[in-house]
Amino acid sequence: MEDIQRVLFTDEEIARRVKEIGRQITKDYQGKDLVLVGILKGAIIFFSDLVRQIDTPLHMDFMAVSSYSESHESSGVVRILKDLDVSIEGRDVLIVEDIVDTGLTLAYLKEILQSRKPMSIRVASLLDKPERRQVNLQPDYLGFSIPDVFVVGYGLDFAEQYRYLPYVGVLAPQAYE
């Protein structure tokens, strides 16, 4: 595809890493009341693949938050578009994200969820861009660290395009400039 500059992670590499993360989560949450919170829309593919690799009972719920407009930069404004359907009080919560960039949205989300008195809150993220971090926040479970490039595929989009790609690729600048 001409809009993709290069593939960063193939579907095989992603599947292998998701399986490893799933094994670690299974080990860490045995016997606990686990709620996986998928962040829509970007994390849906990672979330779906991850759930199938976790071998312990869990509950699934979703939130939709937005801090991006139809550009490649965060707008700085966080909005909750869809909230949880279940109570998380006294439960172990694992937020499943597609990418941690500045960390501002995730920090805000963790603060909101913490006010609901969960037993614990951790984060699983497919991707991490540590160069762009503006808050002290690290994913507890991480697929891959990446440089400061604009990526799409495996659920990640630009203007609602490219989510369907089975790999994570770098979007060519001419596609978003």
Reading the chain (177 residues) residue by residue, the pLDDT tens digits are 789 999 999 999 999 999 999 999 999 999 999 999 999 999 999 999 999 999 999 999 999 987 755 555 555 567 899 999 999 999 999 999 999 999 998 999 999 999 999 999 999 999 999 999 999 999 999 999 999 999 999 999 999 999 999 999 999 999 888
Predicted pLDDT at 78: 78
Which residue is catalytic, options 49, 92, 98, 101? Answer: 101
SS in 3 state form for 55-85?
Answer: CCCEEEEEEEEEEECCCCCEEEEEEEEECCC
Predicted pLDDT at 87: 97
Q: Where are the domains of the chain?
A: 10-149
Instruction: Compute the distance between CA of residue 34 and CA of residue 47 in angstroms, rounded to an integer.
Output: 14
Interacting residues of 126 by C-beta distance below 8 A, sequence separation 6+: 14, 18, 43, 46, 97, 98, 99, 143, 144, 154, 155, 168
Clarify whether 85 is annotated catalytic: no
Pick the CATH number of 10-149 from 3.40.50.2020, 3.40.50.720, 3.40.50.300, 2.40.50.140: 3.40.50.2020
CA distances from 168 to 12, 13, 124, 152, 156 (A): 11, 10, 17, 6, 8
Interacting residues of 59 by C-beta distance below 8 A, sequence separation 6+: 33, 34, 35, 36, 86, 91
